[in-house]
Amino acid sequence: MILRAIGYRNPHGQSDTFTGPEARTAKLPVSNGYFEGVSGESIARTQFEYIRDHLGYRLEMRGASFPEILKPGDILTVQLELVNRGFSTLINPRNAYILLISADEEVKEFLLDVDPRHWQPWAPGDSEFKPIVHQVEFEHAIPADLPTGVYSLGLWLPDAHDRIRLDPRYAVRLANRDTTWWTNKKGEYGVNVFGTVHVK
């Protein structure tokens, strides 16, 4: 159905192109900025590129709400909005974490009560392919002895296996341009940083 929607004609070539408006007219999932260049100008994509980039899942953060200032022991409340612009959801079990990362790379992990395998791109049977907005809510007290300072706030989606849990090559990276991909100096983690919190 997807191939038919974009008129894919050349399975052995990579030259057939289409634009953002054409993709939206065909009711295809399109990430914000996917049909834009580095300066924000409109660009075309080859049909091969589109299929390559949307096979499987393609997670995008649409919004994030969190406090900018906290005191040690305060409740950290985070609300995220995620959409999946891919053709399917995640297959294998995977935990999700909110991370606080200090300037000297000390990491506090907070496990989320979610199953990323449920982040479907659209509802089954929806002929409009309207993206589902997945709400992720987190509320937890930060340690009372947490040192003051500025902390990066991130979403971490590591592989479930302990052997490669800290390997960033196996962590899920969001499709957003406005999230920073963070790993520590040891080459561990692989975190989607979406903001900062000042603990003071």
Domain boundaries, the chain: 2-55, 60-199
pTM for the predicted model, two decimal places: 0.85
Please check whether residue 129 is in contact with residue 27, taking contact to mean a CB–CB distance below 8 angstroms: yes
pLDDT at 7: 52
pLDDT digits (tens, 9 = 90+) for 129-175: 788 999 999 999 999 999 999 999 999 999 999 999 999 999 999 99
| One CATH from 2.60.40, 1.20.950, 2.60.120, 3.40.30 for 60-199 | 2.60.40
pLDDT at 10: 54
pLDDT at 46: 84
pLDDT at 13: 47
pLDDT at 145: 95
CA distances to 19, 129, 199 from 124, in Å: 26, 9, 43
Pairwise CA distance, residues 56 & 103, whole Å: 34
pLDDT at 11: 52
Q: Mark the ranges of the chain whose per-residue pLDDT is less than 70.
A: 1-15
Number of other CB atoms surrounding residue 125 within 10 Å: 5
Q: What are the structure tokens assigned to 188, written together? A: 């561990």
pLDDT at 27: 77
Amino acid (one-letter) located at 139: E
